[in-house]
Structure 1
Amino acid sequence: MSNISFLPRQLLPVENGSGDLKIMTYNTLAQSLIRRSRYPTNGNAVKWGPRSKALEEQIKAYSPDILALQEVDSASLSFWNAIMESMGLDGCFYCSPGKRHGLYLAWRKSLYQQHGKRTVTYDRSKLQIPRQVDTGNVGLLVSLKSTSSNAALPPLVLATTHLYWHPMASFERARQLHGLFEATQQFAKEVDGAPKLVVLGDFNFEPFDPPYLLARGLHLNDRATEILQKSTTHSDFGAAPPINLPEQPEVHVNARPPVPTLLDLENQSALEILQTAYAALNVQVVSAYGRYHEVHPENSGANGEPRYTNWADDFQGTLDYIFFLKWKHEPVEKDPVIIHELLRIPEEAELGPMPNSLPRRALNPSDHFALLASVSWN
């Protein structure tokens, strides 16, 4: 039996030169979410023993300087803390009350030290955009300042999240994403020295979906507009398991069940409400993997992103992103970041014969692929 616990992936060169930081995001697949009914052909690959070994080896092999994790089980927090310590990383964890898994942000201690921390609870957001359902989704933000020996590095504001899973909740995901961007830009104003803004995680939307298009300031075509409109009239968010997204609704003791409501848009269309809200933001989005088509065109899809970052039985598509935010007052032609390398996504043929849903031993220990970008700052 092979001792390889995961399929090694190469870094694909984008821009010349070497990056100052390697930035990684990874939905690690919470053990508390795994059910044999959802992973019927995955064998022992879904057990925590082999998965934890492969997750640790994989993250250490890519050795990120900045790391965002989603679906980190509270019960395994000591495992993750030990990994971070062994890699020279410091970090923090946040879990929505009543949930068994949450978000983890980490950074290399020799480069950065934590300056501040914020959390965002989308259900309690004071946004003017109405919400449809209580989701329990949250965001975690930290501000970092460089260590004295690395004073040339700019301060950072990092934000990670795992947005609502339901396939019919495009409007709610757009609302949550706007809330995260709003919190990030506000947090950045409290940090001295013009911090760079990095927002990364599992957003549960694809590159053709309304939240992605709104975030990047791209045109919403008829398909996206229809998705958005259907999401505002859908009211049955809690009745069925997801049909094309990977995370199931969770059952928690003493947790309040979702209470869906039809949106009262007060004579405004959902698109008008969202466009107005996004236009009012002071930041716009640059996607690191939006350049993936330049280095791996045969495995690229909408808007230059990879064809998929998630590979499950019931869904294959792109849900994970590394976003950089730039201030709208900055020159249009100047991105905040130079992308030097992007971690390659395996092609479908490399995943083996069907059934080949992830996780798989010697291939990938989660149903998501990690994303990593090597970058320097403009």
Structure 2
Amino acid sequence: MVLPNALNLSALNDKFSTKEQITDYLRKACSVYDRKLFALHDISNETKRNEDGITLKLLSYNMLAQCLAKSSMFPKAGKLTSWKHRNQFLALELLTRDADVICLQEVDVDYLDDWVMFFEKFMNCHCEFSRYGTKRHGIFIAYSLDKFKKDCVYSSVIDFDKEMVDVEDEVIYNGAKITKTNNIAMVMAIDFNEEYLDTVQQSKKVNNGILIGTAHLFWHPFGTFERTRQTYILLKKLHEMKKMYKEPEYKSFFMGDFNAQPYLAPYEAMVLTKPIDFSRNKKSFYYMNGSMEYNFAKERSPFEFDPSKSKVHYIPENIEISEQLSAAFNKLPIRAISLYGHSYKKVDSRNSLKEYNNEPQASNSNAGFKGMLDYIFLIVDEPDLNVNVNSKYSQLDKSTGVCINKLLEVPLLSDLPSNEEIMFPGVSGSDHFSLYGEVTLLEN
């Protein structure tokens, strides 16, 4: 497979003057897997939906930090691991989707200035970036100045290592043997431009702005408890924000790499019907409890059995901590609705898996792992803690005022011309697929 001529992002920024020029060049230079953009509704109704509200294009993408793009992890990628080739695939992905709000993970500090210039010059976006300490990569949010005001109304960075689940009962935080993770999240409130609202004939009282956030949660395979704790912190913080920036003026979205598959505790606690009882999911509960006993410093694991096939010993103290954490989730009047989990089955039944709560098979694939880790969530207030999620949110537009219009294809790995590898010449420049959804924020 032929790769493009070696060019750094800084050279691309200097070489081209317009979005059309750079996009045309990259389309010809980079061969990528053609992912369909599925429409969920009859195209004849699209004009009416646009008249009834504000259409937003949302993108989440883990771009794979260059410091992690090692040949040992990507033996089939060849020279694509080189930044001079790979950055062109990443730039093409971002230009092709042309999203209004873009949440990125694993953005290299070394190339941050180049990415900011890229977004400002070619996509008319304002950019915000944050990282933990001296970490070599971080999280990044860009949003279109065609639709949004430049200055954030509110912006905050969440340091998961410093946050407690419950200050009144610190055992939920301190009782588990967790490690320092160096993970952060970024959340903000941004307002629509008055000029844009005028063009779509919308009132600020109906759609003043949105809450948006992104994170890259703890990566370790045995970090299930810590990921679940971090997920709680996210929802708690978003609940606090939503009390200040209330609906209908502000809808809330959170996108990112959660490093958690759709059948494990973090997803379960955010998305599925309450009350959450982690012990009902044998596999999830096993990994959650066992992760409290993993010695991260010495890489010593308590896992010796496949929990779906073996009888295992649950440590009583850890069961108590899990129960306390589930109780904390069950008191929180807020929930997440996955755009793909909710609606992808309508457009791609082959890759909407029942055992994955209707999510696709995988958003991440490399030599060491394959699975669904990335999500676009709509965050809604949910005062009824015993609500049946499937029933209440089956018609999302009526229950939340948000209509899902389009979703980008997430291919089955077996359909790729790369023996299931995502980062491969002719497929993609990252080991993650981007996720993209187009939604309408309805007036009523």
- TM-score normalized by structure 2? 0.75
- Aligned partner of 1:5 in structure 2 is 31
Q: Percent identical across equivalent pairs?
A: 27
Q: 1:286 aligns with which of 313, 317, 337?
A: 337
Matches for 1:59-70 after TM superposition, within 5 Å: 59-70=94-105
The 1-side partners of 2:383 and 2:296 are apart by: 41
Determine if contact 1:5/1:53 at 8 Å carries over to the other structure: no
Determine if contact 1:9/1:344 at 8 Å carries over to the other structure: yes
C-alpha deviation, 1:293, in angstroms: 1.9
Whichever residue aligns with residue 114 of structure 2, its letter is F
Number of corresponding residues: 357
Q: Which moved more, 1:208-217 or 1:180-189?
A: 180-189
The 2-side partners of 1:190 and 1:161 are apart by: 21
The 2-side partners of 1:238 and 1:137 are apart by: 20
- Aligned partner of 1:133 in structure 2 is 179
The 1-side partners of 2:37 and 2:318 are apart by: 49
The answer to whether the aligner puts 1:191 opposite 2:255 as a matched pair is: no
C-alpha deviation, 1:365, in angstroms: 0.3
C-alpha deviation, 1:299, in angstroms: 1.5
Whose helix proportion is higher, 1 or 2? Answer: 2
Q: Closer, same or farther in 2 for the Cα pair 1:24/1:240, shift >3 Å? A: farther
- Aligned partner of 1:346 in structure 2 is 411
Whichever residue aligns with residue 362 of structure 1, its letter is G
The 1-side partners of 2:157 and 2:82 are apart by: 31
The answer to whether the aligner puts 1:365 opposite 2:429 as a matched pair is: yes
Determine if contact 1:163/1:202 at 8 Å carries over to the other structure: yes
The alignment's C-alpha RMSD in Å is: 2.4
- Aligned partner of 2:262 in structure 1 is 207
Determine if contact 1:90/1:109 at 8 Å carries over to the other structure: yes
Q: Which moved more, 1:64-73 or 1:34-43?
A: 34-43
- Structure 1: segments with no counterpart, 5+ residues: 244-263
Map Cα deviations across residues 151-204 of structure 1 (whole Å, 9 max, x no partner): 334411111000001111111000001111111221233336641111110000
The 2-side partners of 1:192 and 1:216 are apart by: 21
Map Cα deviations across residues 268-308 of structure 1 (whole Å, 9 max, x no partner): 62331221111122211110010212211112221010100
> 2:173 aligns to what SS in structure 1?
coil
Whichever residue aligns with residue 342 of structure 1, its letter is L
- Aligned partner of 1:50 in structure 2 is 85
Q: Closer, same or farther in 2 for the Cα pair 1:75/1:203, shift >3 Å? A: same
Q: Which moved more, 1:78-87 or 1:148-157?
A: 148-157
The answer to whether the aligner puts 1:83 opposite 2:83 as a matched pair is: no
C-alpha deviation, 1:217, in angstroms: 3.0
The 2-side partners of 1:230 and 1:306 are apart by: 27
Larger radius of gyration: 2
> 1:329 aligns to what SS in structure 2?
coil
The 2-side partners of 1:311 and 1:62 are apart by: 21
Whichever residue aligns with residue 196 of structure 2, its letter is N
Determine if contact 2:30/2:88 at 8 Å carries over to the other structure: no
Q: 2:156 aligns with which of 102, 118, 130?
A: 118
Map Cα deviations across residues 221-257 of structure 1 (whole Å, 9 max, x no partner): 222222222222223366389x9xxxxxxxxxxxxxx
The 2-side partners of 1:175 and 1:209 are apart by: 13
Determine if contact 1:299/1:307 at 8 Å carries over to the other structure: yes
C-alpha deviation, 1:125, in angstroms: 0.3
- TM-score normalized by structure 1? 0.88
Determine if contact 1:324/1:336 at 8 Å carries over to the other structure: no
Matches for 1:228-243 after TM superposition, within 5 Å: 228-236=288-296, 239=299
Q: Which moved more, 1:368-377 or 1:224-233?
A: 224-233
Whichever residue aligns with residue 362 of structure 2, its letter is Y
Matches for 1:249-268 after TM superposition, within 5 Å: none
Q: 2:360 aligns with which of 294, 306, 309?
A: 306
Whichever residue aligns with residue 108 of structure 1, its letter is S
The 2-side partners of 1:238 and 1:282 are apart by: 39
- Structure 2: segments with no counterpart, 5+ residues: 3-27, 167-171, 304-314, 394-398
Determine if contact 2:101/2:144 at 8 Å carries over to the other structure: yes
> 1:91 aligns to what SS in structure 2?
strand
Q: Closer, same or farther in 2 for the Cα pair 1:228/1:147, shift >3 Å? A: same
The 2-side partners of 1:377 and 1:238 are apart by: 49
- Aligned partner of 2:18 in structure 1 is none
